[in-house]
Amino acid sequence: MKSKHSHPFLYFGLILLLMVTSPLVAEEHEGEELENANTLRMELKQYLSTGGEGQELATFIKNKMPKEVHIFINGMIQRDPFHAEELVVQFSEIYEHYAFLQKEAPDEAGLFLQVQQHEALSLVLAESFDSESPSAGEISKKIQAELEKAFDLKLQMQTMELQQLEEDVEELSQLLERRRTAREAIIKRRLDELTGVDGHLEW
């Protein structure tokens, strides 16, 4: 039986082959990532500019969000389209919910939009935050101010929701009381329907 050490040149050859091919594989992988990034960048730009839901979203971000948010997303599409895609999905959900509230609860829609504006701006500020930067303290204060505004607006929304729930409960309570008062009449009417007692009165 031959020892595994009887072919030292074979092992050196394999090591040399790995050393040569590893950078090539890494370079090929980087090329694929770059190509994917470029493709996604083009798709995002096309989605946000060629009508339909994408253009509606772009208009929403431009007109309803702080200008810093609009600038940030456009810049992120260039720098990191994968992160930009996540942001587009996130803002799509915000836009859809806002559109829903505009139809179903207009008073709440305005508060919801303000909350999202402050939270979006805090997100943009956080992306530029660097604890080593001389302006770190100032940016941190700005982020905190935006979060405080968003929190207070959320409390207002929750207060409105609670008031609506209380009104609904009051209406249900009144309905139950009316049904309780009219118990005998309601049962009698249903009994007559089931037994056909009043059938001879029909036309």
Buried b / exposed e across 146-159, counting CB within 10 Å, b at 16+? bbebbeebbeebee
Q: Is the pLDDT of residue 21 over 80?
A: no
> How many whole angstroms separate alpha carbon 94 and alpha carbon 182?
47
Segment 145-169 shows an average pLDDT of 95
How many percent of the chain have pLDDT more than 70?
82
Q: What is the mean pLDDT of the chain?
A: 86
Res 203: pLDDT: 47
Segment 77-95 shows an average pLDDT of 94
Q: Regarding predicted confidence, which is higher, 7 or 90?
A: 90
Least confident stretch, 34-38, 153-157, 162-166: 34-38
